[in-house]
């Protein structure tokens, strides 16, 4: 390891499947060491993980970083959003954590929305209409199905809160991650006692919300991590807010994240409150807002179509009038939870490559529809779209986004944006800078800009028409005939 120009900081990305750690030079943004370790998720009806695995993975990833981690002056944890962590009186997990993609609490979500007064009331109070991904619905599910676990719970945490507390010994969270719970009121930036009462959750079980730029604590003695005692610990945040920090995002710049699911978001100075529930009105990690919309079917769905066709994922062909809506897991945007994949316009001369291109078109159509709802009315809709996530480097994804958006596309070279955002937050503790400014100084969004091409309005109109005509079929519940 060559000598660093400034102090070292650690940024952590504790995601669904693994924990990644970067040790970063706070002056230059240069990554001087990195580590990664996996954790497991249950299969079946639920999606659960043992929080102890996250801690073990963090320890392993940090030890892979060697002496650099020991030299770090500050650390910050970015983590998967929404997960429900229940701790007993000793700080040990009562049961495995219910993760963001555990949707068993859908009935509780519907009940909570109705009991508070409907979607509009929820949006005005919390910025979002809770679905089964939100933590409040998971607590309601737990209270109904496992009351003994609720009785044993002495602290309720989110995934990043749990790891931060293991470091500091203090129960803290931040506004970005708290805004995804459903019990944090964005209108007042405080816990909503009426919602907590509705869900049967004692506010004394919740962590303190640390302000942006505030020190959450210092690393304590009782751990087996290679940190020096007294290392500063930043507030941390949820993964999307951390990625926004990692990009140094400014208001109005749009991000398309291409992963198993697709995500679109932007920084806004205006507090979001969408009563349709399409846009989640999250807070960001430094005082603004992060309106976000999610599609369920993105890279995984398109790859599945490629596999069914026996094609490489890049083997697309243009020229067909075929429409493929790849709603293999139902869809969230548009709101079609019972939907499935739909193919229309198949002809004798339609090729497999054209079908694959149609799958890309259907997935990107959903993302761009969500993007229109996320952006403020006065946002510059000719500025480059930032393309991140696992699909961002795929040529077919890049070209499809360019063609259907009519906008230039920038693909940042930096890959671990959640960990980089956490590192920027840690660096901000040392320098007094806004973390997004730190990331801009590190030039994390640097990457090639693909110029705009003429927008393919005909394809967009065709997909919209098929979607409209097929709506009764796509909305049909499974037991209807």
Kindly tell me the burial class for residue 214, based on how many C-beta atoms sit within 10 Å of its own C-beta (0-12, 13-18, 19 or more): middle
Both tokens of 19, joined, read 């924990």
Q: How many CB atoms within 10 Å of residue 194?
A: 11
Q: Is 221 noted as a catalytic residue in this protein? A: no
The candidate with the shortest Cα–Cα distance to 64, out of 19, 27, 3, is 19
Question: Are 180 and 192 a contacting pair, CB within 8 Å?
Answer: no
Q: Which of 13, 25, 174, 239 is catalytic?
A: 239
The candidate with the shortest Cα–Cα distance to 195, out of 147, 146, 123, 145, is 123
Question: Are 155 and 173 a contacting pair, CB within 8 Å?
Answer: no
Q: Which neighbouring-strand residues pair with 328?
A: 330
DSSP character at residue 154: S
Both tokens of 95, joined, read 């049961």
- Is omega for the bond preceding 307 within 30 degrees of 0, making it cis? no
Distance CA 383, CA 376 (A): 13
Both tokens of 344, joined, read 């229309």
Element (H, E) at 431: helix 417-431
Distance CA 431, CA 27 (A): 9
* Active site residue ranges: 239
């Amino acid at each position: 390891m060559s000598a660093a120009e400034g102090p070292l900081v650690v940024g952590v990305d504790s995601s669904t499947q693994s924990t990644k750690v970067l040790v970063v030079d706070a002056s230059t943004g240069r990554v001087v060491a990195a580590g990664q370790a996996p954790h497991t998720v249950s299969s079946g009806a639920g999606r659960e993980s043992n929080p102890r695995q996250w801690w073990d993975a963090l320890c392993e990833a940090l030890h892979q970083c060697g002496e650099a981690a020991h030299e770090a002056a500050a650390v910050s944890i970015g983590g998967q959003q929404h997960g429900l962590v229940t701790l007993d009186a000793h700080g040990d997990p009562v049961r495995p954590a219910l993760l963001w993609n555990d949707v068993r609490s859908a009935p509780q979500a519907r009940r909570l929305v109705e009991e508070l007064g409907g979607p509009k009331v929820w949006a005005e109070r919390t910025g979002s209409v809770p679905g089964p991904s939100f933590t409040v619905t998971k607590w309601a599910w737990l209270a109904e199905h496992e009351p003994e676990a609720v009785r044993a719970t002495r602290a309720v945490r989110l995934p990043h809160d749990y790891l931060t507390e293991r470091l500091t010994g203090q129960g803290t969270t931040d506004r970005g991650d708290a805004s995804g719970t459903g019990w944090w009121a964005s209108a007042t930036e405080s816990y909503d006692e009426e919602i907590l009462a509705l869900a049967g959750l004692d506010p004394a079980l919740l962590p303190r919300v640390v302000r942006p730029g505030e020190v959450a604590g210092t690393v304590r003695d009782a751990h087996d991590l290679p940190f020096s005692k007294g290392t500063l610990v930043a507030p941390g945040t949820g993964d999307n807010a951390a990625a926004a920090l990692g990009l140094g995002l400014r208001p109005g710049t749009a991000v398309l994240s291409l992963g198993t699911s697709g995500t679109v978001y932007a920084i806004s100075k205006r507090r979001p409150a969408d009563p349709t529930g399409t846009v989640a009105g999250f807070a960001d990690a430094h005082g603004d807002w992060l309106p976000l919309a999610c599609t369920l079917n993105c890279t995984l769905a398109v790859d599945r179509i490629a596999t069914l066709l026996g094609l490489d994922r890049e083997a697309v062909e243009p020229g067909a009038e075929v429409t493929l809506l790849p709603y293999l897991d139902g869809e969230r945007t548009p709101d079609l939870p019972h939907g499935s994949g739909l193919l229309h316009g198949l002809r004798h001369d339609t090729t497999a490559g054209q079908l694959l291109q149609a799958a890309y078109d259907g997935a990107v159509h959903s993302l761009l529809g969500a993007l229109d709802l996320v952006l403020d009315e006065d946002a510059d809709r000719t500025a480059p779209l930032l393309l991140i996530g696992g699909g961002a480097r795929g040529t077919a994804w890049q070209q499809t986004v360019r063609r259907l958006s009519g906008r230039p596309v920038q693909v940042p070279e930096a890959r671990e944006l959640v960990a980089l955002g956490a590192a920027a937050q840690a660096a901000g503790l040392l320098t007094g800078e806004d973390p997004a400014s730190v990331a801009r100084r590190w030039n994390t969004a640097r990457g090639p800009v693909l110029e705009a091409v003429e927008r393919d309005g005909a394809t967009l109109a065709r997909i919209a028409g098929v979607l409209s005509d097929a709506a009764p079929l796509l909305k049909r519940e499974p037991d209807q005939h």
